[in-house]
Amino acid sequence: MQTVQHHLFLCATPTKALCHQGPVGAQCWEQLKKSIKAAGLEDPARKEGVVLRTKADCLRLCSDGPVLLIWPSGHVYGSLLPERIERIVQQHLIAGEPITEWLVKQFSF
């Protein structure tokens, strides 16, 4: 059985965009896929577990988009840009240090 370390939900291409317009969400999605793969986080043999990703239509946080929810920690990053994704992968997912200045919400699961 495969262990999941994190599951990332990115509001990338909302059909009724209230939080962001234009191509930035799709650009963030492409960067997220690239960064996760390059860091080896999809490797099923990874001892910490894999990192899954899901492109969401809407996460119902209708401001500061695009937004990225990290499960199970409940951290939500907002106002994403493709260039921020790599730092989130390296600092939050790998090093375990959230980037507090980019957080817009914290959920408890």
pLDDT band, residue 17 (cuts 50/70/90): low
What is the chain's mean pLDDT, rounded?
Answer: 90
> What integer pLDDT is reported at residue 94 of this predicted model?
96
User: For residue range 61-88, what is the model confidence (pLDDT) as tens digits?
Assistant: 767 889 999 999 999 999 999 999 999 9
pLDDT band, residue 7 (cuts 50/70/90): very high
Q: Is the previous residue joined to 23 through a cis bond, with omega within 30 degrees of 0? A: no
Dihedral angle of Cα 78, 84, 89, 94, to the nearest 10 degrees: -100
Q: Which domain holds residue 26?
A: 4-106
Number of folded domains that form the chain? 1
pLDDT at residue 4 tops 80: yes
Q: What is the CATH number of the domain that holds 26?
A: 3.40.30.10
> What integer pLDDT is reported at residue 60 of this predicted model?
78
